[in-house]
Structure 1
Amino acid sequence: MMDDYENKEKVETKNNLNEDNFRKKKSSQQQMQSLLEPVGKNINAVAKIQQSTKKILEPLQPMLQMQTNSSLMRDMYKRQIEASSSAFIRKQIEEMSNILKKTFIKNFDTGVISEAARMMMREISEAIQRIKIPDISAEHKQEIIEAYKAWGIYGWTIDPEASIKAFSYNPGDKKTADNIALKRYSKEKMEQIFEMIRESKRVKKLDFEEAVFDYQHKQYKSCALILFSLIDALLIRLQKKSNLDGKRRKVGLGAVNAAQKRTETDLNTELFFTHMFCTNLFVCLGKVFEGGKDFKNQPDVINRNFLGHGMMTKQVRKKDCIQLFLLYYNTLELLDMIY
């Protein structure tokens, strides 16, 4: 009986030792995993930062490789980079910010992350500095300004992803302008523009998504009405309360004029691209918000007063909505420039 008890005790002791060893092994594995996990996260974060840097630098490559005698000056190129890539770069930086937040783990050295971010900014800065900037004559500047005015009169504002040269020549007439512009706007291209608008922190999301839905379902009149209300709201917000002297903020064409005055005081319009951008934008805004003049003659460009007061006899077309989506995008950009 005693021998049976001793054997049983030996077996239990052995089992207890095995359990202790198992627990110690498991604990060691967990400790090792806890040590390796932040390392993995840091490595992953660095890799994502490097990928983001590559994506940001891609739009600059054509400019870095370009050898040109074209008469476009420094601020045009800088603004082209900003206009074509600003929303994309913001998105990349937001993604990197989220990565960094997740990666900053207590009691772990994150210096490698900071170094990767510094390298990214240095690469972007060096890439921009390597762009060769040709000069431009005063006469050619004026020609380009007049071309941008013409595009605005025909209802077209700057395409955020088009070449900087797209508006630098006068199309001559509205039909030519429409034919040239509409070739750019495939279904895929419009989706890109929608995504760029969605990324703006000032977009009124519910109304905008309703406008997109109406556009996609060929309900162009309701789409245009929503877009006009969104643009009007931005123009109202652009008016400083301190400049109102107790008066109400203006709407429609009055809001356009008030926003233009603020732009002239709050932005450096001596910079050539800023001048081009604002000239094109406000000529277009003035055209689509101009008064109905007793509604005697139908407008050749979509008009807020004719549409809003039920005085349009023409159908609202897909082209009209494309123009208004672009106008909304560029008015959002103006707010970003001012604020």
Structure 2
Amino acid sequence: MNNYEKKEKIIDEAKKETDTKLTDSIANESIKQIQMRISSSLRNTDSIKQIQKNQKKILESFQPILEKQTNMKVGLENFKKSLGMSVSKWNQMQEVIKILKKSFKFSHNIEVGEFSKAIYRMTAEFSEVIRKIKIPSISEKKKQELLEIHRLWGHYGWTINPCADEETLFSSMPANKKDADIMALKQCPNKIMEQIFEVLLENKRTKKTDFREAVFDYRHKQYKSCAFILFALIDAILIRLQKKSTLDGKRRNVGLSAVRDAKKRTEIDVNTEVLYTALFCTNLFACLQKVFESGNDFRKQPEVINRNFLDHGMLTRKVTKKDCMQLFLLYYNMLKLLELIY
């Protein structure tokens, strides 16, 4: 084998390894997360204008991808199994992949003009494929049932866990809070919580210093101080979600009033016609309304960790590990809300 053949073999092996990693990454991505990302991207018309205005910069950003053209056929059967698709839906997905692959098949010495044409071709062909795909419908009765299930989970203090099987929890109505806690805690072993910490630390919107301190307190069983920090992080998001243009010179709200303001803005800025987005928002705001609800003169201790009881020193029980788990998940989902809005 000469040097040229050795070089070709090394390149092929590296390409196979890259393809496998990419396919595994796709297989681990939930359909619902993909839905959220696509929905966010399609609404961002400013990004499309940037493509037109700054082609050279975009080309440089895409260069690493262009240099690793991916064979999307690797591991498709495993991907199919992980998604649990029917044959017809799987064929539709394969058609989308084929169009995307064709549209992104550039040479390494691509010119800016060619790149612009490729983007145009990809947009047109991808739109045509999307138009042909038939989205399975859901009855209004089933939709309302799912909304109520997600609302009840939020009322018990539990929001979506990004590292657990959502179908295990949010597909059925818990009989009571105790059952909900038992089911949810099974989805939050130490390994899963560490994965959630990693996901949050990779998020550009996470306030890293405070978050690391909260994780440190959690790992060292300092749950009360951990909860204080997490409530502060969640409070900050609620406050910053209030637009100055809607304040009319008034001060920004805090607590439950800030939750109401965030809910109003979400109803305007987020497309809740998409079922998953509607379920996500229903669950999130049910939880926010519960943990920020009024203390009612602190007459009765809350079943779910409450910001007012904690901040005003009126919580008589100890803050638990479960309380902190719920707040970590709530913070994660607040950051996901920001992705939907912005």
User: Fold conserved (TM > 0.5)?
Assistant: yes
Q: Does 2:147 align with 1:145? A: yes
Displacement of 1:260: 0.6
Give RMSD over aligned pairs.
Answer: 3.6
What secondary structure sits across from 1:146 in the alignment? helix
Alpha carbons of 1:115 and 1:121: their partners in 2 closer, same or farther (altered >3 Å)? farther
Aligned pair partner of 1:232 in 224, 232, 235: 235
Residues 284-295 of structure 1 aligned to structure 2 (within 5 Å):
284-295=287-298
Displacement of 1:58: 2.2
Gaps of 5+ in 1: 1-32, 61-76, 85-99, 105-109
For 2:233 and 2:16, how far apart are their aligned partners in 1? 40
Instruction: Specify the alignment match of 1:196 in structure 2.
Output: 199
Q: Does 2:32 align with 1:57? A: no
Q: Does 2:338 align with 1:335? A: yes
Displacement of 1:134: 4.4
For 1:307 and 1:238, how far apart are their aligned partners in 2? 23
For 1:291 and 1:41, how far apart are their aligned partners in 2? 64
Displacement of 1:259: 0.7
Q: Does 2:114 align with 1:114? A: no
Residues 1-339 of structure 1 aligned to structure 2 (within 5 Å):
46=15, 49-59=18-28, 78-81=31-34, 114=66, 116-117=68-69, 119=71, 126=93, 134-165=136-167, 166-339=169-342
**Contact in 2 for aligned 1:57/1:127 (Cα 8 Å):** no
**Contact in 2 for aligned 1:157/1:281 (Cα 8 Å):** yes
The structure with the largest alpha-carbon Rg is: 1
**Contact in 2 for aligned 1:45/1:103 (Cα 8 Å):** no
**Contact in 2 for aligned 1:80/1:164 (Cα 8 Å):** no
The amino acid across from 2:154 in the alignment is G
**Contact in 2 for aligned 1:215/1:223 (Cα 8 Å):** yes
What secondary structure sits across from 1:213 in the alignment? helix
Displacement of 1:42: 7.1
What do the CA deviations read for 1:179-225 (whole angstroms, capped 9, x no partner)? Answer: 11001111111001111111111000010000000000000000000
For 1:78 and 1:132, how far apart are their aligned partners in 2? 16
Instruction: Specify the alignment match of 2:104 in structure 1.
Output: none
% same residue: 55
For 2:152 and 2:338, how far apart are their aligned partners in 1? 23
Displacement of 1:327: 0.2
What do the CA deviations read for 1:14-52 (whole angstroms, capped 9, x no partner)? Answer: xxxxxxxxxxxxxxxxxxx9x99x999977874564243
Gaps of 5+ in 2: 38-58, 80-91, 98-132
The amino acid across from 2:21 in the alignment is S
Alpha carbons of 1:246 and 1:115: their partners in 2 closer, same or farther (altered >3 Å)? same
What do the CA deviations read for 1:120-176 (whole angstroms, capped 9, x no partner)? Answer: 599899459699964321111111111111101000001113334221211021000
